[in-house]
Amino acid sequence: VTIPLGTPVVPLPEGDRYLGFLFARGERPEEVEDALRHAHALLDVRMARERMEAVQ
């Protein structure tokens, strides 16, 4: 994760940091895509509204 806890999240293109990264391996590209989609579905990203308003 490249954004420290408590730091406002600035959306792209103005922002230059990411909430995190997903990596996957597989025998075929389809397996990797499926693994990434599955991992993405398991994410639970939460942001406080007051933090978002402070950035605008």
**What pLDDT, in 10s, does the model give residues 11-24?**
888 888 887 889 99
Round to whole Å and give the CA distance between 26 and 33: 9
| CA-based nearest residue to 8, from 52, 56, 38, 41 | 52
Given a cut of 50, the residues of the chain with pLDDT beneath it are 55
CA 15, 40, 48, 19 torsion: positive or negative? Answer: negative
How many alpha carbons lie under 13 Å from residue 56 in its C-beta half-sphere? 5
For the chain, domain boundaries: 1-56
CA 30, 41, 55, 8 torsion: positive or negative? Answer: negative
| pLDDT reported for residue 4 | 79
pTM, rounded to two decimals: 0.61
